[in-house]
Amino acid sequence: MTRLFNEPAAFADEMIEGFVASHGRWVRRVSGGVARSIRSTPGTVALVIGGVSGHYPAFGGLVGQGLAHGAAMGNLFASPSAQQVYNVAKASDNGSGVLLGYGNYAGDVLHFTQAQERLRKEGIDCRSIAVTDDISSAPPSERAKRRGIAGDLTVFKVAAAASEAGYTMHDVVQIAERANHHTRSFGVAFTGCTLPGAEQPLFTVPEGRMAVGMGIHGEPGIGETDIPTADELAELMVAKLLAEVPEGIEISGARVVPILNGLGSVKYEELFVLYRRVAQLLAEAGLEAVDPQVGELVTSFDMAGTSLTLFWLDEELEQLWLAPADAPAFRRGAVTAQALDADELTQGAEQETAIPDATVESREGAVRVLAALDAAKAVIDANVAELGRIDAIAGDGDHGIGMERGVRAAVEAAADAVVRGAGAGTVLNLAGDAWADKAGGTSGALWGMALRAVGQSVGDSSRPTAAAVAAGVAEAKRSIMDFGKAKVGDKTLVDVLAPFSDTLTEAVQAGDSLKNAWGAAAIIAEESAEATANLLPLMGRARPHAEKSLGTPDAGAVSMALIVRAIHNTLVENTIKETA
């Protein structure tokens, strides 16, 4: 369990602050993560990597000369927001474009794709590489659906070395894709991990058992076995990886980089015992091990587990893998680096957002928006443990924690905006940005999108009307379904949002007040959330183990129904006050 923390919601920010304070020779703090504190070669491609916090040395520990130019660092087990990725990319750009690198998880894909689109609109050449090395997460025929684990390191290292060597964007992308294609990983776990402030682990493994193929966020594996000996585990891991050799490679005589990764509680001495047999098995298969890596490279807090990665080399890949690098958590060879000056070190820091003018009526509406967000915060705080329990049935169990972080950040941003005289639309927009930034993950992206859609609809020029609110909710439904690609029946929050929006729109168009229309729609939302128990998930991390969630409602659908009801209660209270 995690023992040393202050306020759990502040853990990631305080962790980054301490990381920068102790590693200032390599990194500087920028809004959304970290960037190099040394001067990069102008006119080279910038590699910006990122993902959730909780996996150190990934991702901040891989920023430095010969490796990444910046890292977008999300909250604990929640992907960085699009704004965070954008900020780090802008701070890292050397003038020849930005390559975004991340593990293939739904939240990361959503946020990094949003950031990529924004950077492209500004004329910055931006491409992406999603690492897909985990063979347990999808069959070979669906490699694009696989998640990224310790193989992140091989892809990032090769892409970064290509950038340092002056490769064009096209060639950096090509070599990164080749490295991804040549990387395979397989992992196991013995216990789950416990996040700061949590009373229970995010996930558990039965005593005396080993989860085979479990993901680094606790995604269920492909099965369980009794805990083997170190030699037996080595034989299992090597056999699994040698059963899936990249196309065009002959095992006998091939050169590979073996990476034996500890996930947090399996320590170096144990890893060395395990690697002893791994090395023997690779040699017996006719493989030549090049530059083996044994240690903690992609962790998961205190998770007890390990993974083995094989990176199959060709001449160019080997040259780039062995090129010099100097980052906090990965160093080899000698590099020449020049530190940034004092002014450059502060570039990319957070700046306060200007508040646009608003009418008195809109500012009064902003106060009601804040009350609604406060109600959402209260109901999420009261149900955070239950939301996590529901999510853990087939997912990774962090939905409650993510929702809690997001709604708290939204309330803080909204309260600050109200004090500064913001209108209802601006309050919703800033709350949406804060929710997406602090929650991260898929739900963070979608809730941020929803609040901004309503904010754009109500604006700052008049009191929010029922028609404007309904139109904003309808736009939220449209944009979320378009961007997230979920539809009704996929067992997601869309199963609540779509019928809620349709009912709200119909009631408002029929002449109902916002209070009455919202109340009728809230009933539909609650019924729809309960009905998701009968569905099988077709999207997100729960999809590979869909049958486990049958009989349990979707956590995202439940949290949306809870918030919808809580907001209706504030509308009722306001009506009572106005008629008293």
* DSSP helix/strand/coil, 191: strand
DSSP 354-386: PPPP--HHHHHHHHHHHHHHHHHHHHHHHHHHH
Q: pLDDT tens digits, residue range 4-50?
A: 888 877 888 899 999 999 999 999 999 999 999 999 999 999 999 99
Q: Report, as an integer, the average pLDDT of 51-61.
A: 94
Q: Token digits for 414?
A: 């909204």
Q: pLDDT tens digits, residue range 370-421?
A: 999 999 999 999 999 899 888 877 666 778 888 998 999 999 999 999 999 9
C-alpha pair distances (Å), 238 with each of 20, 131, 215, 253, 296: 37, 21, 18, 16, 19
The pLDDT value given to residue 122: 97
Q: Which residue segments constitute the domains of the chain, with CATH numbers given?
A: 8-336 (3.40.50.10440), 360-579 (1.25.40.340)
Cα 492–Cα 517–Cα 439 angle in degrees, nearest 5? 35
Q: pLDDT tens digits, residue range 286-321?
A: 999 999 999 999 999 999 999 999 999 999 999 999
Q: List phi, psi (to 5°) of 244.
A: -135, 75
| Separation of alpha carbons 432 and 447, rounded Å | 7
Mean pLDDT of the chain: 91
Q: pLDDT tens digits, residue range 249-288?
A: 999 999 999 999 999 999 999 999 999 999 999 999 999 9
Give Rg (Cα) of the chain. 24
1-10, 123-132, 448-457: range with lowest mean pLDDT: 1-10
The pLDDT value given to residue 3: 83
User: Annotated active-site positions, please?
Assistant: 217
| Separation of alpha carbons 210 and 228, rounded Å | 8
pLDDT surpassing 70 at residue 575: no
Q: Token digits for 466?
A: 């029922």
The pLDDT value given to residue 546: 54
Answer whether 554's CB lies under 8 Å from 529's CB: yes
Which one is predicted more confidently, 75 or 523?
A: 523
Assign residue 208 a region: left if phi > 0, alpha if psi is -120 to 50, beta otherwise?
A: left
* Share of residues in the chain with pLDDT > 70 (%): 94
The pLDDT value given to residue 344: 67
Written as one letter, the residue type at 443 is S
Nearest 10 degrees: Cα torsion 377, 303, 553, 111: 60
Beta bridge partners of 30: 33
| Separation of alpha carbons 346 and 28, rounded Å | 8
The pLDDT value given to residue 41: 92
* Share of residues in the chain with pLDDT > 90 (%): 75
The pLDDT value given to residue 342: 64
pLDDT surpassing 80 at residue 186: yes
pLDDT surpassing 50 at residue 580: no
Q: Are strands 223-226 and 183-191 parallel, antiparallel or unpaired?
A: unpaired
| Separation of alpha carbons 265 and 258, rounded Å | 20
pLDDT surpassing 60 at residue 545: no
**What angle do helix axes 441-458 and 424-439 make, rounded to 10 degrees?**
170
pLDDT surpassing 80 at residue 89: yes
Answer whether 473's CB lies under 8 Å from 451's CB: no
Which one is predicted more confidently, 402 or 541?
A: 402
Which residue from 423, 422, 484 is spatially nearest to 450, judged by alpha carbons? Answer: 484
Q: pLDDT tens digits, residue range 308-363?
A: 999 999 999 999 999 999 999 999 887 777 777 666 666 666 666 789 999 999 99
C-alpha pair distances (Å), 300 with each of 275, 363, 416: 20, 44, 34
| Separation of alpha carbons 39 and 164, rounded Å | 12
The pLDDT value given to residue 548: 66
Q: Are strands 304-312 and 255-262 parallel, antiparallel or unpaired?
A: antiparallel
| Separation of alpha carbons 219 and 544, rounded Å | 9
* pTM reported for the whole predicted model: 0.83
